[in-house]
Amino acid sequence: MKAGKLSESVLKRSVLRQLHTVRPELETGPGVGQDYSSIRLPDGKSMVHAVSTMPLSAPVSVEATVYNALNNLVCSGAEPVGILVNLLLPTASTEQQLRDMICGIDVLCAKEDLVVLGGHTEVVRAVTEPVLTVTAVGSLDPSVCVNVNRVKPGMDILVTKWVGLLGTALLAENYEEELLTRYAQPFITQAKRFRDYMSVRSEAAVAVQSGVCAMHDISEGGIYGALWEMGQGSGVGLEIDLKQIPIRQETIEICEFFDVNPYKLLSTGSLLMAAEDGNAVVRAIRQAGGEAAVIGKATDSNDRVLLCEDERRFLETTQTDELWEFNKKKEIAK
């Protein structure tokens, strides 16, 4: 199969349709656009968990893997408690490499007030690069009702921060010498700092208190992928104004330099949301020091449409992230 996220058709056909066992405690389970699950507890609260798995030789990091799981978790409206860490190491790994990874996780836990709840670490011949799986765990108050299937026609669609943040940072870090042939060092340094925006925890917390109905972490596949998954998960159409999607100038220029589509680029650190009154959510997030913008509306059509002045075109199903495609081309060119 092709490297990267499974296509939607394979996910439905060979994963979701093969899962038949249910329990009454399960409130939210796996599905398209559904990146967390919740189980109802006897005290009325729910335990929520979200999983992120990354091969660490890819252009990602321990930090990105942890935040991917954490961001998926807070999209439910849950309060994070801790993480489970599973790490598979190739036989070529050293103890110092292992220690560095665990120390990096510990630094993030201190920053985000999390605890490592447990996990598993093993050296295996079956892998040629470290593979990290992080499961974020939290609790959800029963009064909070945020889910991707709650998007209804007429709701506003919003995006927080800017799209393509992590993808831009990784391109700037990994291909700095090429970028220096056109851009000054301060420009590239600023792009690298987009790593600092990976957490969506604060915006999600404000949004939950401001009437948001659904949240979806924009990660692999970029904003185009997230829009498609939200539409599929809720069964609604979308009309999105391309010019309203917030994007940094550094992202535009670096993507243009490498011929990469910024709207299909890894966007960890940005949230896609739906709300009855999107402007109220935007105001609340900005008052709390964040950034957000209304980019369109949900519709009662099956069409997911991108509008750019007089141009009207349709979203495609989720594609392989542009960053993975770009790195594959670079490997082939070597």
For range 266-276, the mean pLDDT: 96
- Average pLDDT for 120-127: 92
Which residues on neighbouring strands pair with residue 294, listed in sequence order? 158
Q: Which DSSP helix (H) or strand (E) runs through 121?
A: strand 115-123
Asked whether residue 199 is domain-assigned, the answer is yes
Chain segment 144-157, per-residue pLDDT in tens: 888 888 999 999 99
- 3: in domain: no
Q: What size, in residues, is the chain?
A: 334
Report the domain count for the chain: 2
CATH code of residue 235: 3.90.650.10
Whether 184 and 315 share a structural domain = yes
Q: Is residue 35's pLDDT more than 80?
A: no
Statement to judge: residues 92 and 118 lie in one domain: yes
- The verdict on residue 1 lying in a domain is no
Q: Are 166 and 268 in contact (CB under 8 A)?
A: yes
Going by C-alpha positions, the residue among 270, 247, 254 that lies closest to residue 197 is 270
Please identify, among 110, 140, 170, the residue that sits at the C-terminal boundary of a domain.
Answer: 140
- Both 326 and 206 in a single domain? yes
Q: What's 143's DSSP letter?
A: T
What are the pLDDT digits (tens) for 214-235? Answer: 999 998 899 999 999 999 889 9
pLDDT score, position 58: 56
Looking at residue 129, the DSSP 8-state letter turns out to be: S
Note whether residue 34 is domain-resident: yes
Do 175 and 322 reside in the same domain of the chain? yes
Average pLDDT, the chain: 88
Separation of CA 155 from chain center: 22
Q: What is the pLDDT of residue 323?
A: 86
Distance between CA atoms of residues 130 and 31, nearest Å: 27
Instruction: Indicate whether 63 belongs to any domain.
Output: yes
Together in a domain, 169 and 269: yes
SS3 state of residue 122: strand
DSSP 7: P
165 domain residue, yes or no = yes
Last residue of a domain, one of 113, 140, 167: 140
**CA-to-CA distance for 159 and 273, rounded, in angstroms?**
6
Measure the CA–CA gap between 81 and 36, rounded to whole angstroms. Answer: 15
- Closest-CA residue to 318 (of 269, 276, 267): 267
> So what's the pLDDT on residue 6?
64
| Full residue range of the structural domain in which residue 322 is found | 148-333
pLDDT confidence of residue 27: 67
Q: Do both 157 and 236 map to the same domain?
A: yes
Q: Are residues 249 and 297 in the same domain?
A: yes
Give the C-alpha separation, 309 to 307, whole Å.
6
Residues 318 and 259 in one domain: yes
At 184, which amino acid appears?
Answer: A
pTM metric for this prediction: 0.87
The last residue of one of the domains, among 104, 124, 140, is 140
306-329: pLDDT as tens digits: 999 889 999 988 778 888 888 877
Question: Is residue 91 predicted with pLDDT exceeding 80?
Answer: yes
Is pLDDT of 170 > 90? yes
pLDDT tens per residue across span 47-73: 777 777 766 665 568 898 999 999 999
Domain check: are 277 and 160 in the same one?
Answer: yes
Is 122 within 8 Å of 89 (Cβ atoms)?
A: yes
Same domain, 303 and 177: yes
CA distance to 33, 154, 167, 232, per residue, from 150 (Å): 12, 12, 29, 12
Single-letter residue type at 259: D
